[in-house]
């Protein structure tokens, strides 16, 4: 039977959605392959959060023209956030006449139907739905991130941050039923998964559309499942992150004390223009509260520079906030104008060169913080969940509960095992260590 190849752009949610596309393709009898040139069907699961994500996808799609010429039967499908933008599918259809299937985010679960149409002779199958479909629980999944498993708890976003395209391409918030989520987690743990990452654009508002459930109750119920595993979640929104939630996290040993709390900017003027619904002071208060309940919590963030009208003083507020919080990690971005969002119409778009200089300052600051935090690990023994083998370094790798990556040698398959590792050397962000033989070492093999 045929082979498939999927390229994914964007966030963890998209990676998980590609696992659903892979599940659908495997139900058709396709097998995964390692290179595009071996594939009978190539799928692009796209992202449009910033212009460069779109440019990369378009470049890679364009590069397939030759392959398609050589192999007339090759099927090329493009879906995801980029195609869901208004009128985008028409542009894609005209620019790349060799694309066979175009689908959006609202009909991803229905990819099999579109594929059947193409296989039964329809030349081009293009379907973008304007409305969110029902939350689909039944799509088969071919998971790719053992020992971690992603679990959607909700879809869409209601926040409309003024720079962000997500609410327009993912629709409004829809939460999955709590029982369905807990059952999925239970099955995954029975199958041997050791880490569960709950996914939503704003997990803190989980359940608001259902009425009788909330995120705190959901994580409590999952954390109480009787297995050894780690529970993580992404992403939090500072406006909805409560003291109660910080307290709940502190009550469960298996909920990782690492919280991704995107701040975006440190200037109150910019935060207001972004429609973030918190001030710099509110944010710092949340950080304080988190550290009260979880003194050694690792807090990570997303930060943007170059939002329209950002002055040197505004940027300095961001820089100082980053310094004050001492994040365990930060994703830094240059603001990218997204058509259809309010910020795209704002005056005083910031010059690219200025934004580049600002982002470099943030990156350098964070690198210094990373080095300092890494040094604190030297000599310590930490519990690592082994998540893979790095062929280049010829070492196993995994993370501790705070999300810090460590490399170490091992003479048996350690994938999916919890191992104790003594850190011998701290790099910029990653750590090097030696495995300690503890009683929690089991040398069985999974997958």
* Interface positions with ligand SAH (CB under 6 A): 49-50, 163-164, 166, 201-202, 235, 237, 262, 264, 302, 304, 333, 335-336, 338
Q: What's the min distance (Å) between Cβ of 47 and ligand F3S?
A: 3
The answer to whether the beta carbons of residues 433 and 406 sit under 8 Å apart is: yes
Q: Element (H or E) spanning 32, and its range?
A: strand 31-32
Q: Which does 399 bind (CB under 5 to 8 A by kind): ligand SF4, ligand SAH, ligand F3S, none?
A: none
Q: Is 83 in the site for ligand SF4 (CB under 6 A)?
A: no
Residue 167 binds which one of ligand F3S, ligand SF4, ligand SAH, none, with CB within 5 to 8 A depending on kind?
ligand SF4
Q: Does 416 bind ligand F3S (CB under 6 A)?
A: no
Give the residue ranges of DSSP H helices in 12-146. 12-27, 51-62, 65-70, 81-84, 88-95, 111-119
| 108-167: contacts with ligand F3S (CB under 6 A) | 165-166
Which of 389, 399, 395, 384 lies closest to 438, judged by CA?
Answer: 384
81 makes contact, choosing from ligand F3S, ligand SAH, ligand SF4, none, with CB < 5 to 8 Å by partner type, with ligand F3S
- CA dist., res. 412 & res. 123, Å (int): 50
One of 45, 202, 205, 318 touching ligand SF4 (CB under 6 A)? 202
The DSSP bridge partners found for residue 399 are 385, 405
Q: Which does 160 bind (CB under 5 to 8 A by kind): ligand SF4, ligand F3S, ligand SAH, none?
A: ligand SF4
Which tokens sit at 229? 């595993």
Q: Which does 336 bind (CB under 5 to 8 A by kind): ligand SAH, ligand F3S, ligand SF4, none?
A: ligand SAH
Within residues 182-201, the interface with ligand SF4 by CB under 6 A covers 201
Q: Which position among 237, 260, 373, 399 is part of the footprint of ligand SF4 (CB under 6 A)? A: 237
Report the residue number whose CB is nearest to ligand SAH.
302
Residue of 361, 363, 380 whose CA lies nearest to 371: 363
347 three-class SS: coil
**According to the binding rule CB under 6 A, does residue 331 interact with ligand SF4?**
no
170 binds ligand F3S (CB under 6 A): yes
Say whether residue 10 binds ligand F3S (CB under 6 A): yes
Q: Which is nearer to ligand SAH, 39 or 359 (CB)?
A: 359
First vs last Cα of the chain: how many Å apart? 23
In our burial notation (b when 16+ CB lie closer than 10 A, e otherwise), range 165-192 reads bbbbbbbebbbbebeebbebbeebbeee
Distance CA 266, CA 245 (A): 23
Q: How far is the CB of 6 from ligand SF4 (least distance, A)?
A: 23
Return d(Cα 410, Cα 399) in angstroms, integer: 15
The span from the CA of 260 to the CA of 244, in Å, is 17
**Closest distance between ligand SF4 and the C-beta of residue 80, in Å?**
15
* Residue 335 binds which of ligand SF4, ligand F3S, ligand SAH, none (CB < 5-8 A, kind-dependent): ligand SAH
Residues between 254 and 273 with contacts to ligand SF4, criterion CB under 6 A: none
CA angle 197, 81, 125 (to 5 degrees): 120
Q: Which two tokens stand for residue 358?
A: 């600002």
Selected binder of ligand F3S within 25, 42, 43, 48 (CB under 6 A): 48
- CB-side exposure of 139: number of CA atoms within 13 Å? 25
With contact defined as beta carbons under 8 Å apart, do 284 and 258 qualify?
Answer: no
Pairing verdict, β 381-390 and 395-399? antiparallel
Measure the CA–CA gap between 404 and 401, rounded to whole angstroms: 7
Shorter beta-carbon distance to ligand SF4: residue 166 or 385 = 166
| Contacts for 93 with CB less than 8 Å, ≥ 6 apart | 99, 102, 124, 126
Span 152-171, contacts to ligand SF4 by CB under 6 A: 157, 159-161, 164, 166-167
Q: How many residues bind ligand SF4 (CB under 6 A)?
A: 10
Closer to ligand SF4 at the Cβ: 39 or 161?
Answer: 161
- Binding residues for ligand SF4, per CB under 6 A? 157, 159-161, 164, 166-167, 201-202, 237
* Residues binding ligand F3S (CB under 6 A): 10-11, 13-14, 47-49, 81, 165-166, 169-170
């Amino acid at each position: 039977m045929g082979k498939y190849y999927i390229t994914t752009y964007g966030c963890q949610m998209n990676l998980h959605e590609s696992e659903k596309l892979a599940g659908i393709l495997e139900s058709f009898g396709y097998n995964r392959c390692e290179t595009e040139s071996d594939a009978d069907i190539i799928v692009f699961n796209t992202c449009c959060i910033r212009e460069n994500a779109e440019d990369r996808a378009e470049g890679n799609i364009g590069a397939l023209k030759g392959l398609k010429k050589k192999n007339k039967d090759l099927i090329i499908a493009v879906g995801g956030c980029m195609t869901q933008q208004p009128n985008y599918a028409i542009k894609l259809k005209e620019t790349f006449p060799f694309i066979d299937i175009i689908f959006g985010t609202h009909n991803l679960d229905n990819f099999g139907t579109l594929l059947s149409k193409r296989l039964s002779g329809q030349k081009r199958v293009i379907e973008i739905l304007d409305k969110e479909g029902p939350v689909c629980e039944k799509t088969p999944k071919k998971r790719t991130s053992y020992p971690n498993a992603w679990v959607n708890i909700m879809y869409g976003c209601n926040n409309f941050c003024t720079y962000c395209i997500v609410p327009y391409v993912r629709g409004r918030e829809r939460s999955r039923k709590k029982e369905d989520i807990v059952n999925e987690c239970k099955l995954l743990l029975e199958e041997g998964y050791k880490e569960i990452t709950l996914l939503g654009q704003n997990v803190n508002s989980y359940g608001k559309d259902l009425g009788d459930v909330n995120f705190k109750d959901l994580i409590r119920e999952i954390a109480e499942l009787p297995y050894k595993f780690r529970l993580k979640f992404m992403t939090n929104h500072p406006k909805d992150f409560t003291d109660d939630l910080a307290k709940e996290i502190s009550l469960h040993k298996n909920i990782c004390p690492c919280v991704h709390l995107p701040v975006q900017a440190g200037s109150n003027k910019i935060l207001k223009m972004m429609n973030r619904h918190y001030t710099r002071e509110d944010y710092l208060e949340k950080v304080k509260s988190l550290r009260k309940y979880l003194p050694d919590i690792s807090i990570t963030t997303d930060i943007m520079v170059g939002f329209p009208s950002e002055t040197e003083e505004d940027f300095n507020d961001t820089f100082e906030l980053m310094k004050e919080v001492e994040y365990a990690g930060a994703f830094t971005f240059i603001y990218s104008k997204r058509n259809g969002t309010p910020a795209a119409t704002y005056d005083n778009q910031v010059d690219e060169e200025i934004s580049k200089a600002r982002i470099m300052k943030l990156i350098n600051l964070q690198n210094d913080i990373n080095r300092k935090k890494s040094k604190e690990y030297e000599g310590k023994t930490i519990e690592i969940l082994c998540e893979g083998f790095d062929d280049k370094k010829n070492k196993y790798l995994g993370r501790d509960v705070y999300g810090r990556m460590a490399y170490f040698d091992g003479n048996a398959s350690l994938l999916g095992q919890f191992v104790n590792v003594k850190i011998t050397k701290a790099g910029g962000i990653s750590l090097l260590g030696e495995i300690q033989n503890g009683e929690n070492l089991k040398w069985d093999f999974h997958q």
